[in-house]
Structure formats: structure tokens, C-alpha cells
Structure 1
Amino acid sequence: MTTELRVLEPAEFDHWYARLELAFGGVAEAPEERALWQELTEHGRSLGVWDGDECVGTAGAFTFRLSVPGGAAVPAAGVTMVSVAATHRRRGVLRSMMRRQLDDVRSWGEPLAVLTASEPAIYGRFGYGIATQQLHARIDTARVSLAVPQGTDDVRLRFAEPGAPGVRDACEAVYARLVPGRPGMLVRRPGWERLPVLDPESARKGSSPLQCVLAERDGEVVGYARYFNRPEWDESGAKGTIALRDLEALDPAAYAALWRMLFDIDLTSAVETYNRPVDDAWQHLVSDIRRCQVGVRDSLHVRLVDVGAALEARTYQAPVDVVFEVQDAFCPWNEGRWRLTGDAKGASCERTADPADLSLSVRELGAAYLGGASLTSLAAAGRVRELRQGALAEAALGFSSTVAPWLPHGF
């Protein structure tokens, strides 16, 4: 069977996207959701595999900038909308798209490719490593209290319309100020500010419309929370749930004020959150962490497309001077020895003939790149080999981050 891989034409989008929906279960998205993704899709960076008139494979790549340790925003291809038709499994469709896509990303001069995986077992063979995790929790607010810091009572809270331009812009300004301080966050380009307030009625499943509360100090917005209220009753009374979409704040008092408000909403007894940083500070405010049902799962997968440029783009928590022996069969231009020299002020990474200190694949470099996965832990799993005594500890400390990397939303 002959198939053709080609760049997506705008006129092909509806058929291409319908095949993507079919691969993800066949349930059509709400019209407003589909319309937003159609506007955000970059056709020249999207691929389709065609069997005659039928699209049997899809893949896209958004133009992103990703925050890395040190605060820089590094160009990254946001790999998205990847699917293969059930009728065309085991024929190399996915591999052909991954091959073309990484070649394209390299030609665009973007040192990173990133994705979130519907199935995390898929992408390791293409050099992606799990670089961030997301925390989820169900907090029993009927039995858990908060100990808030001084100044919490000075923060003014008010309801606001989530999608109103002024409200949305104020929330985006808070988000933008936080991006450099946490690796893994995306600099939101124009149009992406609509994603956090997308609220199709068909997706609410019994919840309220999206609600928004702003935290203010001296007339300035210093935080916000967006959430759904899911009412529920039984014979003993109300037991509704607050489903938190996102919460950001510029200081501890504003952060605590928003969390306390969520805990205090009438007729509810739980707060659910699905995507928070693993070091999220509310865990230190609650009276009983055991009643918060905390768990984690993989989130952002990172692939170094250009090892030298990627490692130079971030800074390092402690001085590091290490030679890596890198294996990368899928992108062989990365293979070989690289000397990384860096500290908190900057870094250089160049080809070298010097003896290697550590041996690893590009997948491990991707996992460790944002400071979320420790090189020491990867070595304990047999995925990093120390060739010079002391090199592992030096590199692991250098790659670490003072805050956990985190991807606030999917794409």
C-alpha cells in the first residue's frame, strides 16, 4: 500500500482534524473548541499521511518558547495532534512523521521538541524523555484546614467574568511574570490566551460555567483562580466539588487568599486539582496532607534536537565541566562527545575528542534538561553510566532546579 506524507494544506484541515478526532475515540469536539484549534494550528508546520484521498496519519508542531533553568525562553516545537488510523498500524506511518518532523525542527533552528503523550510508552524510542510531572489531588475541605501566612487578610478578592478582555489580560500579565521563574512553562503567543478560558457547555458534565476570582492589592491584580463548581447532594446534605482549572499568584499572601477562598465556598466539601507543580505550596498550608489524595503523573516530554544549542541555552545550579558521550540513533547529528561547561551565569557546549565522563542517550538528557529528573536517579536505573568518578554528582547538582519544572496546560 502506497502512502504520501506531505505538509497540511489549509483546505485539508477539516478532513485532517476529523481523522484526528476519530483516532482519539471518535467523539467530535464542541464547535468553539474545534474553531480555536483551527485558528492555532500552523499549517506549514503540520503533516498528514495520505492513502489516496484518506488521511491516515496526523502530526503538528506549534511554535513555542519554553522557560528553562536560568529564566531564558528557548525556541521549542510543540509536537501535537499526533495520530495514526487504526487501519494503518505497523506500517511505519508514525515513524515517518517523527522522522520528517525532527528534520524540520532542526531546519527551523529550534533546539528542542516537546510534547504531552496520550500514551507515555510511545515516544521514548524517538528520543523524548519525561521532563516534568503534574500533581493531582482531591482535598477533603470538610476535614482539612489551611494555615495562611501574614498578610492574607489584606488581599482583596472579587469575582470577574473569565473571558472579558480586561480580566483575561490581567490574568495573562500575572502568568507572564511567573514564566521565567519556573522551567517548563510556555510563553503564550497571541491567541493562546483564549485556551485557559475555553468553556464549551458540552464539556462541563454537570458543572457550572467557568468561574474566575481575582486577587488584588492596591488596585493591582496579583493573582487569579479559575474553576468549576460541581454541585452534588445526598441524604445528608450538600457535598459539591470545586474543580480547579488554574491558580497563579505573585506572592504568598495572594496565593493563600485564593486557596482559602476555594476551601470556603458554600455547599462544597472537596477541591479537585488535576495539574499542579509537584512542589505546589498548598501542600505546606494544609492541616492533613493524607486527606488530600495526592498523586503524580508524567506531563511534558522533552527531546533535544540540537544537543549543543539546547545545553547552552540554560544555566546550571552549580559549576559543571563534564564530557558527555551521547547516543542518539534517531538523530545521529547529536551522537558523540560534548563538553558542557557552565554555571549560574551561562554555559557553552561544544564537540570534543576528550575522554567521556558520563555516557547516556539523548532521552536521558531530555528527562534531566529542565531539572525535574535527577541524573543520579537515572544512573541508579542504569540509564546513565559514570566514566569518571565524581562526574555524576557534579552534573546532577548542576542540572538541578530550585523549583520543580511544570507545564501549566496542554497543547
Structure 2
Amino acid sequence: MVEIRVLHTPDELLASQQVFRAAMVGLPSLPVTREVVSTLREPGLTYGAYDGSTLVGTTDGGVGTLTLPGGAAVSHLAVTHVGVLPTHTRRGIVSALLRRQLRDARDGGHVVATLRASEAVIYGRYGYGVATSSIGAEVITARARLRDGVATSGTTRLVDRDGSLERQAAIVDENPSARPGFVSRLPIWWAAHRLREHDKPVWVAVHSTDGRDDGYVRYRPTDPSQWWSGADRRVVVEDLHAPTDAVFADLLRFLLRLDLVDRITFPALPVDTVLPLLVHDRRAVRLQSTSDETWLRILDVRAALTARTYGSGSPVTVTVDDDELPENAGTIEVGPGGVRRVDGPGAVRVHVRELAAVLLGGTSWRALATAGLITGDASAAAAADALFATDRAPFAGVGF
């Protein structure tokens, strides 16, 4: 019988780090020691699965906020480092870990949890649904000339790498994005970035409006060894924080001024990115495949639905199913005037997993109906779409 425990000591946390990396197989090594590992974990949020005295599985998380449509930020658990040793897979260990984590998070007052999934078929069974997606892009710099009328809002400058992570963290905290799906960046996230980049050639440019720093881009060459002799020199954007389209345009303007660069890769942008519209030759921007980004688990359905805003239209009654957190189950009326519990069956019935997919506006109720993922009459799904629609695609823009 596997026992789930909360891990506290540096030795326990280091063991959890080793279990996770063994489970993931393909991750690059990091210089994590007993002294360092505590900076990568929030106290009391790392769980371990023990087979006797042996740690065989783990998960952890960090507490911050997630932005809902309308701008409200709700308490959010960022789940990460989920892994089980290959000697103990398919024994229900992940299920035991995640169910304990979800129950503790709900009891702790958190409204939602999110994660990034290494596999797409695991987390739906625990009530996680895909709430945001991202799209990659590549810019061919020789053909990418910005249009004359592209918005500008300030200036961009290079900053010294030493101490720049602290500056970046302050910029994000002081200038949060209003996009649905935006998540606050945690101290453990910045600590992990410091480790990953300690020996890489990384550059940082900061954007300012009226003398106030409000955005940045962090970038690096993909293959420094071929930089002088290479015929296809590429830069990858490691991180970009642009709370407005005008800030994004200024940061793109800066990147296009880089000498010796043939291509710029953006691994993750919002699916409604304005990037192709900013250049004269839109074929200079090659949009690549979309990827699922945020897998969201609603921990408190009523609190999550109450915190977001809605479009105009008639209220809709929705019956929610949730086997893992049964206090979420029941029928709720949702409308421009608010959210309330009601008796009886709703006009639409949905699992909490699919409710997570529509919560931020990233998926339509009509699409869920077409896929057979909700039941109810078509007019109710159409009314729900009018209520849940957002003017911008949801996007987190950060992994963890």
C-alpha cells in the first residue's frame, strides 16, 4: 500500500527532484543541491508517494493567481513536477498523489489549479481541461519590415544580465496582463530559470513607457558554436512579457534590429497574435502548429463562475458533474446578473473538465456540443456561448 506524505526537509525535497527527473527521462541535468532545492519548492506543497521507505512518486505546486475574463484574479495552484519511477507506474500512484493534492487545494481555499501536461490523456480523468492554447511562430528577418503605422508606446533598452531576473519579476508583478489565463509568476519559477540559464548566452531587453518599465523580452542564440560561420543564424525568444499590443510591437521592433540574425523563433504566442499583421510581407511570419497550454482544474465551481464577467443574453442553467470534488456538483444559473445555485436539472449538463475548457473563453459551448462532450438543447449552448465569449483568446505565456 502506497502512503502519501507531505515532504518538508531538504533531503526529502532533493529526493523528490530526483524522482521527477528519473520519471521524465529526457530532461537536461540541473545543478540542484540540498541548499538549492528549497528555493524550487514552496513549503508544505510537495507530496511524496512512499512504497515502504522508498520515495516512488511526487508532485508539487506553487500558489499565485490566475486572471479570469473581466480581470479578476483568483487564487491559483500551479501544479508541477508530477512523476512516478518507472518501477512503480500503472499502480494508481499518480491518481493518489493528484487526488490528495486537489483535495488539499480545495480545502485550502484555492479556486483553480493548472498544469502543463507531458501527456494529453492523463489529466482529464482528474477534472483538468484544456483552457488555453498557444501558437509558435518564426520570423524571417530579411523579409520582415514593420508597417509604418504600427503602434509604438515607448523605448526599449538592453540591460545587464546580472540581476535582470529580479527586474523582470518586478515588471510582471507591476504590469500584469489583463488577458484571461494570465498567471502570476512565482519565486520558485524565477529560481528555476536562474538555474537553467546560469551558463547560457542570454540577453534581456526592457521596454519602458514614459520612463516606467512595463515589458521585456529575453532571447538567446540557438547554436552559438555556429554563429560566426553559420548561414542560418537563429534566435529563440525564451520569455516575453508584453501586457499590451503596443508593447509587443515595440519589442518586436527591437528584435528586428538585431544584426546577424536570420530567423527569430517565438515558441509560444496567443492564438490570436497580431504578429502577422505587423509586417508588410505577412509570409515573413510563419505561424506554426498550435499546442495545448494551460490544463485547468476548477476547484470551486461557484467561486470561479462568480469571479468572471459575462456577455449579454438570457441566463443559462448548467448542471455540473464532478466525481473527485462532489461539492462542486449541482446546477448553477449563470447570467449577466450573477451566478446562483438552483434546484433541478439544468438546460446543459457538463463535466467539470469541459467547464474548465470554456471558463476562460478558449473553447465554445457549441464545439463541446458538436464533440458530444455536453448534453442539452442547442439553444442553451448558443446562449452559453453569448455569455462566455471573450474579446481576446486566453493565454498564460509561461510554463512551470
- With 296-305 and 318-327 compared, the bigger mean Cα shift is at 318-327
Q: Which segment is superposed worse, 123-132 or 241-250?
A: 241-250
Indicate the residue corresponding to 1:220 in structure 2.
Answer: 212
Q: Deviation per CA, 1:34-85, whole angstroms, max 9, x where unpaired?
A: 9666314124122111112321110112112111111111012211111111
Instruction: Find the counterpart in structure 2 of residue 338 from structure 1.
Output: 332
* Equivalent position of 1:366 in the other structure: 356
Work out whether residues 310 and 335 of structure 2, in 8 Å CA contact, stay in contact via their aligned partners in 1.
Answer: no
Distance in 1, Cα, partners of 2:57 & 2:138:
37
Counterpart of 1:269 in structure 2 is 262
Q: Please state if 1:125 is matched with 2:125.
A: yes
Instruction: Give yes or no for contact 1:33–1:198 (8 Å, CA) kept in 2.
Output: no
Native 8 Å contact 2:8 2:43 kept in 1: yes
Once residues 236 and 47 of structure 1 are traced to their aligned partners in structure 2, the CA distance between those partners, rounded to angstroms, is 49
Aligned residue for 1:184? 181
Of 378, 384, 398 in structure 2, the residue corresponding to residue 395 of structure 1 is 384
What is the SS of the residue equivalent to 1:360? Answer: strand
Listed as ranges, the matches of 1:259-298 within 5 Å are: 259-286=252-279, 287-289=281-283, 291-298=285-292
Q: What is the rounded CA distance, in whole Å, between the counterparts of 1:342 and 1:312 in structure 2?
A: 10
Distance in 2 (CA, whole Å) between partners of 1:362 and 1:112 is 11
Contact 1:163–1:197 (Cα < 8 Å) also in 2: no
Contact 1:76 1:114 in 2 (8 A): yes
- Once the two structures are superposed, the pairs formed by residues 69-148 of structure 1 within 5 Å of their partners are 69-148=69-148
Q: What is residue 356 of structure 1 aligned with on the other side?
A: 346
What residue ranges of structure 1 are gaps of 5+ in the alignment?
A: none
Q: What one-letter code is carried by the residue in structure 1 that aligns with 2:358? A: A
> How far apart are residue 134 of structure 1 and its match?
1.3
Structure 1 residue 348 displacement after superposition: 2.2
Contact 1:130–1:301 (CA under 8 A) maintained in structure 2: yes
| Correspondence list, 1:59-70, <5 A | 59-70=59-70
The answer as to whether partners of 1:359 and 1:386 remain within 8 angstroms in 2 is: yes
Which whole-Å CA distance do the structure 1 matches of 2:3 and 2:125 have between them? 23
Deviations 1:278-322 (A, max 9, x none): 122212113224751422100111111221122112111334511
Q: Residues 309-348 of structure 1: matches in 2 within 5 Å?
A: 309-342=303-336, 347-348=338-339
> Is residue 155 of structure 2 the alignment partner of residue 162 of structure 1?
no
**Cα offset, 1:366, TM superposition:** 0.6
Cα deviation for residue 27 of structure 1 reads 5.2
Identity %: 34
Shift of 1:195: 5.2
Offset at 1:146? 2.3
* AA in 1 matched with 2:208: E
Cα pair 1:3 1:51 within 8 Å, conserved? yes
Change (3 A) 1:141 1:115: same
Counterpart CA distance in 1 for 2:383 and 2:33 is 47
1:199-278 map, 5 Å: 199-201=196-198, 204=200, 209-230=201-222, 231=224, 238-249=231-242, 251-278=244-271
Q: Which amino acid aligns with 1:310?
A: A
Tell whether the 8 Å contact from 2:144 to 2:284 is kept in structure 1 after alignment.
no
Q: Is the 8 A contact 2:13 2:46 kept in 1?
A: no
Secondary structure, counterpart of 1:223 in structure 2: strand
Q: Cα distance 1:365–1:220, how it changes in 2: closer, same or farther (>3 A)?
A: same
Q: 1:392 to 1:35 in 2, by over 3 A?
A: farther
Question: Which amino acid is the alignment partner of residue 157 of structure 2?
Answer: R
Letter in 1 for 2:241: E
CA distance in 2, matches of 1:124, 1:100: 16
Q: 1:253 to 1:124 in 2, by over 3 A?
A: closer
TM-score by length of 2: 0.90
Q: Is the 8 A contact 2:320 2:352 kept in 1?
A: yes
Structure 1 pair 362–35 and aligned structure 2 pair: CA distance change class (3 A): farther
Structure 1, 7-16 or 68-77: larger mean CA deviation: 7-16
- In 1, the alpha carbon distance for the partners of 2:106 and 2:347 equals 27
1:175 is matched with 172
Task: Specify whether residues 116 and 225 from structure 1 end up closer, same or farther in structure 2 by C-alpha distance, changes over 3 A only.
Answer: same
Code of the residue aligned with 2:142 in structure 1: it is: A
In structure 1, give the amino acid aligned to 2:257: D
Aligned Cα root-mean-square deviation (Å): 2.7
Residues 132 and 372, structure 1, Cα contact 8 Å, conserved in 2: yes
In the superposition, the TM-score normalised over structure 1's length comes to: 0.87
- Conserved? CA contact 1:323–1:354, under 8 Å: no
CA distance in 1, matches of 2:228, 2:105: 58
2-side partners of 1:56 and 1:80: how far apart? Answer: 16
